[in-house]
């Protein structure tokens, strides 16, 4: 693949997006990049026409761009072909007749076309185990539904554009559904967990008879039943979080991890844990825990009022707990998420190398509930060096976030309108993203954007024009244009914005030191 067939676009200050001509070039370039292992690159995310490189903060993106443009890629190279995977399908989907009408094939013709031609795993998608399958019969190219379904059953087999795919779990979706299968696409206990690996050939076959849909694979328990910290109450939401699981986006697994990474790092530093030790992320306070052994803990992030057996305790401070004592968090006066670190770390069973709870994909320990008992790991050899950290608490007024124009800024008539508007964080915001309410941005280009990789901090504009700022549990790929990307350091600040709080963006220069 000649380098002039690639265009490299800045995507915030911790990622680059590489455009190529088509899916075969995507697969070849992604394979070459994984082999080359460029310094600072944490994840390589192939998509329909692009390859996203997610980097560690501080990576020299200009040098990375030069390396990508100079990288030799053999024509036709790509992931090694895997063994053929056969997926039995019961063809009774709710959109089968409509797809038959659109294509002119009729329902039976759709089934024959779907089963007669082998498909190839191209890239991962919006859920663990979901794979975009390409190379099927061209007559099956159909657009997504005008109105996406709010919930698609697990095992549903669908078509969208040039792709076919199988939903591994229940999720919203706009694909045309033509059938269902009981094949288990994702199982964390299997190696590898995803049934469909890049490069593998997939053949759909008619099921001999309708089968019951397979249940979702079992997940690791939220916490071992023996340990040092009993959960008495959880408030709006309490989740186990560490710094996430990078490097798995090609399988549809995002990094996830603490929404405010700086706050978790600070809490861990106060108790002398490694910065990536697991703690508890608490939304709007309400957590109550009882110590069943002497423990040392610290709180950071939103300053939730804390009391120990009714006595007020400090925030951003080291707190000793005796056996039987109860620590309770109230509602913070500002900010949204408080982090509880325990010396030794929360020792729930890791899933794919991390103890983070990903609410979008369902990977990781389940949300905490009353009665859970959290094991605590062995204390580190280091000792706490300070008792209190003098840090600023999250602001209660308007929050300003620094951002650079995104790779699809040109899809709006006026990219600067994002920064001129004062936005309000919607009550529909969550760990996936902050939904912003305000004067809608105008989209000039109404085409459907081929799916491409997404980053934490991406500001995506759906057809309605009100932006969504992606946070920790964002989807791995998306089909709406990214018009701006918040700087990596400021995404932690965004994670502390409360519903109803106002947000403004200030546009800063691109990290490129030369034009692309």
Residues 353 and 455 in one domain: no
Task: Determine the structural domain holding residue 198 and report its residue range.
Answer: 88-206
Answer yes or no: are the C-beta atoms of 455 and 54 closer than 8 Å. Answer: yes
Is the domain of 267 the same as that of 363? Answer: yes
Name which of 119-133, 208-222, 413-427, 429-443 the model is least confident about.
208-222
Whether residue 409 is contained in a domain is answered as yes
Rounded CA-CA distance 476/174 in Å is: 17
**Helices 106-116 + 96-103 axis angle, to 10:** 90
Residue 413's CB is within 10 A of a number of other CB atoms, namely 11
Share of the chain above pLDDT 90, in %: 71
Report yes or no on 256 lying in a domain: yes
Do 198 and 334 belong together in one domain? Answer: no
Residues 369 and 480 in one domain: no
Residue 150 pLDDT exceeds 90: no
Q: Are strands 287-291 and 295-301 parallel, antiparallel or unpaired?
A: unpaired
The rounded distance, in Å, linking the Cα atoms of 454 and 5 is 22
Does any domain span residue 387? no
Residue partners of 486: CB distance under 8 A and separation at least 6: 12, 401, 402, 403, 457, 458, 459, 469, 494, 505
pLDDT of 2 above 60: no
DSSP 225: S
In this structure, the answer to whether residues 188 and 155 fall within a common structural domain is yes
**pLDDT digit string, tens, across residues 85-113:** 999 999 999 999 999 999 999 999 999 99
Examine the domain organization and report whether 236 and 351 are in the same domain. Answer: yes
pLDDT tens readout for residues 30-82: 989 999 989 999 999 999 899 999 999 999 999 999 999 999 887 655 556 66
Per-residue model confidence (pLDDT) at position 170 = 86
> Which residues touch 471 (CB under 8 Å, ≥6 apart)?
259, 430, 431, 432, 433, 434, 456, 491, 494, 495
pLDDT at position 224: 38
How much is the pTM? Answer: 0.86
Kindly state whether residues 93 and 158 are assigned to the same domain: yes
Between 72-76, 179-183, 372-376, the lowest mean confidence (pLDDT) is in: 72-76
* pLDDT tens digit sequence for 295-321: 999 999 999 999 999 999 989 999 999
Q: Does 59 share its domain with 92?
A: no
3-state DSSP call for residue 108?
A: helix
Percent of the chain residues topping a pLDDT of 70: 92
- 513 falls within a domain: no
pLDDT for 251 equals 82
- CATH number assigned to the domain comprising residue 275: 2.60.120
Residue 391 located in a structural domain: no
Number of CB atoms found within 10 A of residue 221's CB = 12
Give the least confident one: 53-62, 244-253, 275-284, 338-347: 244-253
Q: Which residue has the tokens 């019951």?
A: 212
- How many domains does the chain divide into? 4
Q: Does residue 57 form part of some domain?
A: yes
Here the tokens at position 22 are 């088509």
- At residue 197, the pLDDT reads 86
What is the chain's length?
A: 516
In a domain, 216, yes or no: no
């Amino acid at each position: 693949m000649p380098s002039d067939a690639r265009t490299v676009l800045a995507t915030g200050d911790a990622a680059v997006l590489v455009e190529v001509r088509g899916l075969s070039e995507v697969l070849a370039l992604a394979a070459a990049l994984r082999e080359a292992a460029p310094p600072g690159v944490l994840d390589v995310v192939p998509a329909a026409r692009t390859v996203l490189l997610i980097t560690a903060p501080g990576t020299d993106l200009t040098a990375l761009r030069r390396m990508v443009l100079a990288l030799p890629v053999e024509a036709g190279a790509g992931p090694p072909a895997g063994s053929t995977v056969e997926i039995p399908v019961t063809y009774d989907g709710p959109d089968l007749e409509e797809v038959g009408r659109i294509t002119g094939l009729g329902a039976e013709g759709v089934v024959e076309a779907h089963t007669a031609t082998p498909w190839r795993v191209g890239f991962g998608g919006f859920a663990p185990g979901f794979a975009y399958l390409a190379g099927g019969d061209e007559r099956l190219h159909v657009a997504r539904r005008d109105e996406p379904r709010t919930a698609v059953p697990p095992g549903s087999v669908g078509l969208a554009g040039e792709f076919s795919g199988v939903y591994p779990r229940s999720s919203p979706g706009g694909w045309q559904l033509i059938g269902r299968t009981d094949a288990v696409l994702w199982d964390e206990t299997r190696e590898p967990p995803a049934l469909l690996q890049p490069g593998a050939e997939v053949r759909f076959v008619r099921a001999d008879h309708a089968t019951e849909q397979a249940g979702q694979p079992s997940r690791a328990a939220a916490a071992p039943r023996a340990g040092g910290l009993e959960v008495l109450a959880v408030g709006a939401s309490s989740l186990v979080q560490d710094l996430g699981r990078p490097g798995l986006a090609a399988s549809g697994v995002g990094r996830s991890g603490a929404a405010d990474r700086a706050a978790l790092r600070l809490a861990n530093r106060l108790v002398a844990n490694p910065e990536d030790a697991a703690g508890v992320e608490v939304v709007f306070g309400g957590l109550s825990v009882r110590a069943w052994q002497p423990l040392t803990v610290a709180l950071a992030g939103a300053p939730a009022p804390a009391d120990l057996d009714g006595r007020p305790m400090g925030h951003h401070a080291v707190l000793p707990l005796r056996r039987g004592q109860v620590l309770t968090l109230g509602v913070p006066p500002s900010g949204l998420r408080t982090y509880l670190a325990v010396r030794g770390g929360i020792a729930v069973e890791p899933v794919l190398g991390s103890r983070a709870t990903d609410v979008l994909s369902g990977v990781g320990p389940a949300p905490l509930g009353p009665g859970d008992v959290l094991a605590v790991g062995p204390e580190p050899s280091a000792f706490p060096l300070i008792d209190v950290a003098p840090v600023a608490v999250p602001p209660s007024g308007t929050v300003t976030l620094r951002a650079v124009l995104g790779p699809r800024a040109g899809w709006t008539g006026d990219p600067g309108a994002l920064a001129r508007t004062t936005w309000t964080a919607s009550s529909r915001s969550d760990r996936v993203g902050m939904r912003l309410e305000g004067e809608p941005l105008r989209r000039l280009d109404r085409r459907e954007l081929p799916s491409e990789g997404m980053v934490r901090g991406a500001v995506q504009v759906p057809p309605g024009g009100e932006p969504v700022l992606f946070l920790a549990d964002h989807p791995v790929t998306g089909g709406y244009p990214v018009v701006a990307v918040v700087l990596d350091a400021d995404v932690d600040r965004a994670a502390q914005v409360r519903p109803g709080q106002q947000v403004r963006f200030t546009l800063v220069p691109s990290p490129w030191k030369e034009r692309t």
